[in-house]
Amino acid sequence: MVRRFNRTVTQRVGALDDSYLARDRPLAQARLLWEIGPAGAEVAALRTRLDLDAGYLSRLLRTLEGEGLVVVGPGESDGRVRTARLTDAGRAEWDLLDGKSDELAWSMLEPLTAGQRARLTTAMTEVERLLMASLITIGPCHPGDPRARACLRAYTRELADRFDAGFDLTRSSVEDNELVPPAGLFLVASISTETVGCGALRLHPGEPAEIKRLWVSGSVRGLGVGRRLLDELERHAAAAGAGSVRLDTNRSLTEAMRLYRSAGYREIPRYNTNPYAHHWFAKTLS
């Protein structure tokens, strides 16, 4: 089933996509031109996005520059990073690619009835979301790692936005080394190079383990990432000998509370003095 789908979509649509869009330009150049886009892009960003060798990318940029489609200028803040921008000619070329792309999309929908089109777009959205969900990997990470830091920044920003009283991470702080085995665990969820969620576990030998810092990026909410993080943390707690886990949460985090309840957590009385907590939950591990 999945294989048939891959064949159909990548061969039929993908084949069109690539060679069709490239016009009479090498594919790599067309892709690069497209990726730079009207807003311009940093060379480093292009390299990771297209996964190209630095030398190869550099050469491609020289070619496009030679054709007068692109100019590569100095970076904004960091003098090492350079940014590529489209010239007017490059912008015209980009518009052309964009138009082709639209044309392609249209050619896919045009023969269908209105009902079929609606069904197709719904199904495509569904496939895209679920594929994205399936590409999200969850793994341990040191809380000092840049990926973890990025998550915690996003987490803090979100809580500060959503809590009536604002949020200051330092007031409920946990030391990094408490979230590193064997004392605890810090997990990040990522999709390729982008981190989209995190969760931490703190073990208290002889007492329930505690779940902290559970956060999922808005871009992937509803894809079950929170549930997966929670499962993984519980598994680790059980393996470390904890008989139960508990956690606290703020009353404004309604979707988190829904997750806890559906994952088998029961509300319990206050067990700590976290100034941001309104509800406390616990779950017995089997």
**Where on the chain is the footprint of a copy of itself (CB under 8 A)?**
1-6, 8-10, 12-14, 17-18, 101-102, 104-105, 107-113, 116, 119-121, 123-128, 130-137, 192, 224, 227-228
Q: How many CA atoms lie within 13 A of 64 on its CB side?
A: 32
Q: What would the DSSP string read from start to end of 202-261?
A: E--TTS-EEEEEEEE-GGGTTSSHHHHHHHHHHHHHHHTT-SEEEEEE-TT-HHHHHHHH
Question: Which one of residues 6, 8, 14, 27 is an interface residue with DNA (CB under 7 A)?
Answer: 27
Q: Which does 120 bind (CB under 5 to 8 A by kind): DNA, a copy of itself, none?
A: a copy of itself
Whichever of 32 and 211 has its CB closer to DNA, that residue is 32
Q: Kindly give, in sequence order, each residue whose CB lies less than 8 Å from that of residue 186, ignoring residues fewer than 6 positions away.
A: 140, 141, 142, 143, 148, 179, 180, 198, 199, 200, 201, 213
Q: Which does 229 bind (CB under 5 to 8 A by kind): a copy of itself, DNA, none?
A: none
Q: Kindly give, in sequence order, each residue whose CB lies less than 8 Å from that of residue 171, ignoring residues fewer than 6 positions away.
A: 275, 276
Least separation in angstroms between residue 51's CB and a copy of itself is 8
Q: Which does 150 bind (CB under 5 to 8 A by kind): a copy of itself, DNA, none?
A: none
Question: Which one of residues 13, 17, 20, 28 is an interface residue with DNA (CB under 7 A)?
Answer: 28
Residue recorded with tokens 């990040």: 188
Whichever of 52 and 104 has its CB closer to DNA, that residue is 52
Q: Which does 272 bind (CB under 5 to 8 A by kind): DNA, a copy of itself, none?
A: none
Whichever of 39 and 131 has its CB closer to a copy of itself, that residue is 131
Give the count of beta carbons closer than 10 Å to the beta carbon of residue 141: 21
Least separation in angstroms between residue 6's CB and a copy of itself is 5
In 3D, which of 208, 216, 254 has the Cα closest to residue 234?
A: 208
Residue 150 interacts with DNA (CB under 7 A): yes or no = no
Residue 35 interacts with DNA (CB under 7 A): yes or no = no
Residue recorded with tokens 């829904």: 258
Residue 174 interacts with DNA (CB under 7 A): yes or no = no
Whichever of 25 and 202 has its CB closer to DNA, that residue is 25
Residue 81 interacts with DNA (CB under 7 A): yes or no = yes
Residues that bind DNA (CB under 7 A): 26-29, 42-44, 47, 52-59, 61-62, 72, 75, 78-82
